[in-house]
Structure 1
């Protein structure tokens, strides 16, 4: 009985996030109303507040869930004894292929990382932290393996890598998705590795 209730709660939670993702992608965060998110999710307006404090909390949860899923997928595909240069490739590959598959998520991440209020941006940055940490861990591993330069500024380099991938996704969206995002992996990774290798 309890597990059935928990499952129903999870289903509603996911339905709200899915509806919010659609609304945010189509109308932007500030122009999306909670009532419209509820209607899209097939729940009453008040139900939203059983799961989220407000609209900002929905957006933060969306980032936490989706970025958390990306990090989990990375850990499923890459093991600790793998070469760091291959791990960098896998991060870039997953980043591009997952956002290419989920255009709504690509739109929301690109828009809201740039346009949110300072407080909201701060909370989204916290949700982003495990992903940035994952890149840092790979860089440290690469230095330890003797693959990457010992003089790398790891804190700066992790941001440069994330920022470069982020910009490639933005350009793809701005172009109207006229080309394959996943086809940009090789050139992007080659650029990274030229600067990273010992």
Structure 2
């Protein structure tokens, strides 16, 4: 979509993150988002169909950047357990650096309707595939147990990361989220690693 390259598109999405984090999705009128972005209300409809479209686009855009950064870093790493650590650490780091986005992803996206959740799950597929790649690579090279059920392990991994971030958001970000990475990696890696 050509709109994505336009500066106002990004401006509106960034404003939407802040407005939704501050007011909650249901109390975030398009007019509030427009005001925060410094554009006229009508300008928003040049880029988005409605508020729901803003939320999905915001998640697509931010998650796309998120996954690209993680992929880029992981490609430089050889060992599966180090790739796993890097994914965990970057998941926490990226959300801790953007607390408003963390509030939106952990709390506001959960309150959306079924169709919206389906679209969000579509966006997550690349991230989940990246987790699968790390797990499968580790099973092939003998780092992880060979009989692991990849989809189940991925659910446990994603669920753990998700819950740790949600807890951090609920505790009003009073502690360092990235500090949790080593312990989370230790727990998960020790459950997955091949025991000799």
Q: Which runs of 5+ in 2 are unaligned?
A: none
TM-score normalised by length of structure 1: 0.92
Measure, in 2, the Cα distance between the counterparts of 1:173 and 1:193: 25
Given the alignment, which residue of 149, 155, 158 partners 1:153?
149
**Residue aligning to 1:164:** 160
Measure, in 1, the Cα distance between the counterparts of 2:74 and 2:116: 32
What RMSD over aligned residues (CA atoms) do the two structures have, in Å?
Answer: 1.7
Trace 1:130-149 onto structure 2 (pairs within 5 A).
130-149=126-145
Given the alignment, which residue of 56, 61, 68 partners 2:64?
68
Which secondary structure does the structure 2 equivalent of 1:148 belong to? Answer: coil
The total of aligned residue pairs comes to 193
- Which deviations, in whole Å up to 9, do the C-alpha atoms of 1:72-107 show, x marking residues without a partner? 111221227611111110111101111111000100
Measure, in 2, the Cα distance between the counterparts of 1:173 and 1:159: 21
Q: Which runs of 5+ in 1 are unaligned?
A: 1-5
Given the alignment, which residue of 43, 47, 60 partners 1:47?
43
Q: Which runs of 4+ in 1 moved over 4 A?
A: 6-9
Measure, in 2, the Cα distance between the counterparts of 1:80 and 1:95: 17
Given the alignment, which residue of 103, 124, 127 partners 2:123?
127
1:147–1:104: structure 2 CA closer, same or farther, 3 Å change rule?
same
- Which deviations, in whole Å up to 9, do the C-alpha atoms of 1:13-33 show, x marking residues without a partner? 000001100111011111110
Q: Residue 113 of structure 1: CA displacement?
A: 3.6
